[in-house]
Amino acid sequence: MEYLQRWEQYAPEAYNAIRRNTDDVSEIALHTGWAEFRIRRIKNHVFYRQHQLDDRFDYFDPDPDIADAWFRLQQGNYLAEDLRLLEHEYFESRFEVIFNTDYRTAHHATIRSGRLWSPPEG
């Protein structure tokens, strides 16, 4: 799939599928050993909540690499980097709510805390 198509077609469709899925939280918890409440918090943060972004209050733009990671986590064939995504999003979601801050501030705090995430190569 072409790069642009992954962003413009695949990612929005994948995010809609993830939002409709009611089994993914328990499946990811089972596969990773993470508590369901943490996975649910991450799902709400990434896929359902609106955030104060740089120029608007809105949902995160669908990201094909995050969708891929979510599907791998759900299927149980995840990568170490996918677990780092969970760590990153969990910390970021807590920081944003606890300190009632915008996304950018929460994201930078997450990076400073050492909870980095990069999509896998390829």
Q: What is the pLDDT of residues 14-64, one digit of tens each?
A: 999 999 999 999 999 999 999 999 999 999 999 999 999 999 998 999 999
How much is the pLDDT for 120?
A: 86
Q: Is residue 99, in this structure, part of any structural domain at all?
A: yes
Percentage of the residues of the chain whose pLDDT score is greater than 90? 94
Number of domains in the chain: 1
Which class for 62: exposed (0-12), middle (13-18), buried (19 or more C-beta within 10 A)? buried
Instruction: Give strand pairing partners of 51.
Output: 58
Provide the domain limits for residue 75: 3-113
Q: Is residue 119, in this structure, part of any structural domain at all?
A: no
100/109 Cα distance (integer angstroms): 13
58-72: average pLDDT: 97
- Helix (H) / strand (E) containing 15: helix 11-20
Q: Is residue 19, in this structure, part of any structural domain at all?
A: yes
How much is the pLDDT for 121?
A: 81
How much is the pLDDT for 122?
A: 64
Q: Is residue 11, in this structure, part of any structural domain at all?
A: yes
Helix, strand or coil, per DSSP, at residue 12: helix
**57 φ/ψ angles, rounded to the nearest 5 degrees:** -100, 115
Angle, vertex CA 106, rays to CA 43 and CA 108, nearest 5 = 120
How much is the pLDDT for 93?
A: 98
Q: Is residue 76, in this structure, part of any structural domain at all?
A: yes
